[in-house]
Amino acid sequence: MKTLRRMVSALLLGVAMFAAGGSAEAQQAGDVILASGSVSVGGSYSATVVAAEGNTLPPSGSYQVSVAFSASATLTSFDVLGMTGTFVSSGTYTAQVSATGVPEFETTGSFTVSGSFTATSYTVGGSAALATPDSGSVTFDGAGSYDLGSSAVTASGTYSGEVQTVAFGAAQVSGDYGGNGLVAVNPQAASLQIALPTNLLGGIATTAAIGPVAAMSLATHAPAETPSGFGTGPDTFATPSTPLPASGVSLLVWNGGTVEALATATQTLQGVSLTAFVGGRAVTLIPGAPAFVNAAFGALYPAGVPSGALFVLVR
């Protein structure tokens, strides 16, 4: 019996020393947890935009966001046994946003959220602001889940906000957001697994905030225009899978049309020459050159240039 008492006493003393050493401080409400790291989130947006003429934001689409963030999170309540609690978090972010048909861009800003969590899920509400390249703010409410082992986080909810853009003035944006990703943080109290949720709070807040922030940011960026000279109809080149280099050689496919239309499309692309390889020989079209220079090229296609013809463009 004495031996058992000694063992229990030693165990309790060890727990007390462990707590006194600070490793378990993150379990206490009121502690401020500093977190920094990165989030990679993919999702979708549905937006309603009211703006001046010239805004061509698609009503819906998908996006991918990579975010670097710095945040502080404070537990406002915590039940150790139930692994439940509430928190507030705020911080700053830098996000790389890409979306279908929109040139990739960077945006920065800040966020403030409050929420509650269990061992595997959370609810959150808050606001986020854009700092560059335009200005605006958005409020949002949502929920999600997280996994301590994999640091996987999901987020979904609704948002509503306003932006002020250089391009077309004021706009209102609202809709749904959703996404998932991995949250990487610098743990401050990772000695106990029970302390890990507090270190993920900054990442959870960022994951929840970045969906509406990305959607709102997209409202400030018009879709990329298809360069003149490319298209799907006749008298155009097929749009290449990658952008043309500013100078050099590119392989293009013609959608069919006259030699004159081919020359015009080549000039539109600021091409110096366009070359076809037929029967092992090269025949070149030089837009704007005298007729005799391009006589051989014209003779090659007396009835027009067929769809699917391959050409080497020099810019």
Q: For residue range 160-185, what is the model confidence (pLDDT) as tens digits?
A: 988 877 666 677 888 888 888 888 76
Q: Check residues 148 and 196 and name the one with the higher pLDDT.
A: 148
* Mean pLDDT of the region 43-59: 63
Statement: the pTM of the whole predicted model exceeds 0.85: no
pLDDT band at 191 (very low <50, low <70, confident <90, very high): very low
Burial of residue 299 (CB within 10 Å: 0-12, 13-18, 19+) is exposed
Q: Where in the chain is the domain with CATH 2.40.128?
A: 24-218
Q: Are 67 and 210 in contact (CB under 8 A)?
A: yes
HSE toward the beta carbon, residue 96, CA cutoff 13 A: 6
Q: Are 102 and 224 in contact (CB under 8 A)?
A: yes
User: Which tokens sit at 189?
Assistant: 């109290």
Q: Check residues 286 and 62 and name the one with the higher pLDDT.
A: 286
pLDDT band at 276 (very low <50, low <70, confident <90, very high): very high
| CATH class name, domain 24-218 | mainly beta
pLDDT band at 26 (very low <50, low <70, confident <90, very high): very low
Q: Check residues 314 and 58 and name the one with the higher pLDDT.
A: 314
Can you give the pLDDT at residue 85?
A: 87
Rg, Å, the chain Cα set: 29
